[in-house]
Amino acid sequence: MTHDALTIRPGSHLSLAGAPARVEETLELTVDDFTWHSHRLSGHPDADWLTVEDDEGTLSLTLWKDRPGLPERGEPGDRNVVCDGTKLRRNEDGTGTYRSLPSGRSGRYAYADYRLGGTLVAFERFDDGAWEPSTGRHIPAFGVQVTGGSS
């Protein structure tokens, strides 16, 4: 049985931890041979993006909030950065490709992910654009339901 989160597409209407949202755009992100999806949301009070990763049957869902102005100290890619007064250590970084749905726009992107315990901070850069910072929190799979629209 396929989990609802794996059927999300642009136009999908969602319930995320009880709050409604609509998917405006989906980014298909690929690094090496691993692909996952990041869905740009509208209408959710606490999240701008939902990432859905299926790693060999293990589903990982994260809600992200855009956070212009981060980091307070350091630069994306540094070993450590300070965000919201907390020193975070780089967990992962790299480059990959992206494809946007429904526009079909595609290109290269870079990322640098940081964490300390449950605190998640991600920086992403698409093509030659500026770094886009966001803070995230994992949510349980049962917290996502497709309630209508394209799926």
Tens digit of pLDDT for each residue in 76-127? 999 999 999 999 999 999 999 999 999 999 999 999 999 988 889 999 999 9
Predicted confidence at residue 2, as pLDDT, reads 62
Q: Which of 104, 99, 33, 91 is nearest to 62 (CA)?
A: 91
Is 61's pLDDT higher than 70?
yes
Report the first-to-last Cα separation within the chain, whole angstroms: 15
Domain definitions of the chain by residue range: 4-148
pTM exceeds 0.85: yes
Give tens-digit pLDDT for 16-33.
Answer: 988 999 999 999 999 999
Residue 88 is predicted with a pLDDT of: 95
